[in-house]
Amino acid sequence: MLVLLAEIYKELDYIDKRILLLLDKLLIRYEYVPLSVIEGSINVPPRELALRLGRLSEMKLIKRSLTSRTGYRLTFLGLDCLALDDLVRDGVIAYLGSSIGMGKESEVYIAKSSKEALLAVKFYRIGKASFQKVSRVRQYLTNERSWLIRSKLAAEREYSVLSELPRYTENVPRAFGWSRHAVVMSFINGVELYRCRELRKPTEVLYGIFNALRAAFIHLGIVHSDLSEYNVVVSIVDEVPYIIDWPQYVYRDNPLHLEYLKRDVLYVIKFFKRRYGVSIDVGKALRFVKGEVNEVIG
Ligand SMILES: Nc1ncnc2c1ncn2[C@@H]1O[C@H](COP(=O)(O)OP(=O)(O)OP(=O)(O)O)[C@@H](O)[C@H]1O
Ligand SMILES: [Mg+2]
């Protein structure tokens, strides 16, 4: 899919990009942007415009309305191209690699900066799975537009956390940039915790996780709220855990924040108990994460 994305991206000229940009700009206003509006904004002869819209539809970057009133909207793939265009132009990434992770709400690709540093680009796809399921049953239900908007919000939220938090902890990836529904962060050469059968020092890994939760709570005033063995990646070389997947975080002024914090802490403690036989007191761990004590033990 990523190779495909890079290939598609190469085939677009600046007029194609202007069309995509226009549809993106009008995402908030229209379910499908009427053809007359596109004609009024893109200064090319109607015949050429029709050809371009047809081609972009064939490439699945935009979608034509099925109603009698001709209109078009952006697809996730179209938004990918725009985000990619920004990230390359801003010098955040220089090369795009292949897909390395497919979450329920995103697709993650490997990339490189101009200095050859390895990066991960997370393209949000909120609602895509459920959308496909629903649209198979009800063809007319096309709410992908709202999913695009929500994906952008999620990327912005994740960027805001991952650009700040690395100042206070090494246990999260560092964000380098963001555009639309895509976040660029450091690539972690590791495996998700749920796939780690063995760890040399499981207690240290658990402390690393607490460390990130504590930094988030104390310095940013936030709680992850979706912590599990699927949202921790452990580096292969040195067994450092990194907490990923932050868009659902809540602030400390949320009345439920302490409940979420407890759930996060309890969840990992139970997991480490079950899988690695590590015993940690929940109350002490919580006090540590909240910044009330400086040690997990004692
Ligand atoms: N910075 C990174 N470095 C390396 N791999 C990553 C990175 N970020 C994400 N991944 C990979 O991509 C997968 C999906 O990432 P993430 O959990 O952030 O997305 P998601 O779509 O929100 O997942 P979920 O299925 O939990 O909703 C991860 O399980 C991991 O394999
Ligand atoms: Mg995840």
Please list the residues that pair with 124 across neighbouring strands. Answer: 106
Query: What is the pLDDT confidence band of residue 247, given thresholds at 50, 70 and 90?
Result: very high
Torsions phi, psi for 273 (to 5 deg)? -70, -50
Predicted pLDDT of residue 131: 54
Predicted pLDDT of residue 130: 60
Predicted pLDDT of residue 67: 84
pLDDT in tens, 278-297: 999 999 999 999 999 998 86
State yes or no: pLDDT of 141 exceeds 70: no
- Name which of 104, 93, 120, 70 is nearest 230 in CA terms: 104
CA of 31 to the centre of ligand 1 (A): 30
Q: Which protein residues have a CB closer than 5 Å to ligand 2 (ion)?
A: 103, 231, 245
What sign does the dihedral 127-128-134-138 (CA atoms) show?
positive
Beta-carbon contacts of residue 155 (< 8 Å; ≥ 6 apart): 122, 124, 178, 179, 180, 181, 182, 183, 247
- Name which of 98, 124, 129, 125 is nearest 111 in CA terms: 98
Residue nearest to atom 31 of ligand 1 (CA): 101
CA of 108 to the centre of ligand 1 (A): 6
Question: For residue 73, how far is the Cα from the chain centroid?
Answer: 22
Judged by DSSP in three states, 272 sits in helix
Residue nearest to atom 27 of ligand 1 (CA): 104
Predicted pLDDT of residue 8: 80
226 is known as an active-site residue: yes
**Which percentage of the chain shows pLDDT scores above 90?**
84
Predicted pLDDT of residue 4: 62
Tokens of 158: 């994740």
CA of 104 to the centre of ligand 2 (A): 7
> Which pairing describes strands 241-243 and 190-192: parallel, antiparallel, or unpaired?
unpaired
Predicted pLDDT of residue 10: 81
pLDDT in tens, 203-233: 999 999 999 999 999 999 999 999 999 999 9
Among 76, 99, 106, say which to mutate for ligand 1: greatest number of ligand atoms within 8 Å of CB: 106
Catalytic site residue from 16, 226, 253, 281: 226
Among 2, 99, 100, 108, say which to mutate for ligand 1: greatest number of ligand atoms within 8 Å of CB: 108
- Between CA 297 and CA 268 the distance in angstroms is 16
Query: What is the pLDDT confidence band of residue 115, given thresholds at 50, 70 and 90?
Result: very high
pLDDT in tens, 156-207: 999 999 999 999 999 999 999 999 999 999 999 999 999 999 999 999 999 9
What's the CA angle centered on 148, arms 128 and 14, to 5 degrees?
Answer: 115
The pLDDT of 48-71, averaged and rounded, is 94
Domains located in the chain, CATH noted: 2-185 (3.30.200.20), 190-289 (1.10.510.10)
- Between CA 60 and CA 76 the distance in angstroms is 9
Q: Any idea which of 23-37, 118-132, 217-231 has the lowest mean pLDDT?
A: 118-132
Predicted pLDDT of residue 139: 42
The pLDDT of 6-31, averaged and rounded, is 91
The pLDDT of 263-271, averaged and rounded, is 98
**Which percentage of the chain shows pLDDT scores above 70?**
93
Judged by DSSP in three states, 281 sits in coil
Ligand 1 is surrounded, with C-beta below 6 A, by 100-101, 103-106, 108, 120, 122, 173, 185, 187-188, 192, 230-231, 233, 244-245
DSSP state of 91: T
CA of 105 to the centre of ligand 2 (A): 8
Predicted pLDDT of residue 102: 87
CA of 17 to the centre of ligand 2 (A): 31
Residue nearest to atom 20 of ligand 1 (CA): 103
Contact in structure between 215 and 191 (CB atoms under 8 Å): no
- Name which of 194, 191, 251, 196 is nearest 225 in CA terms: 251
Predicted pLDDT of residue 138: 45
Tokens of 194: 């749920």
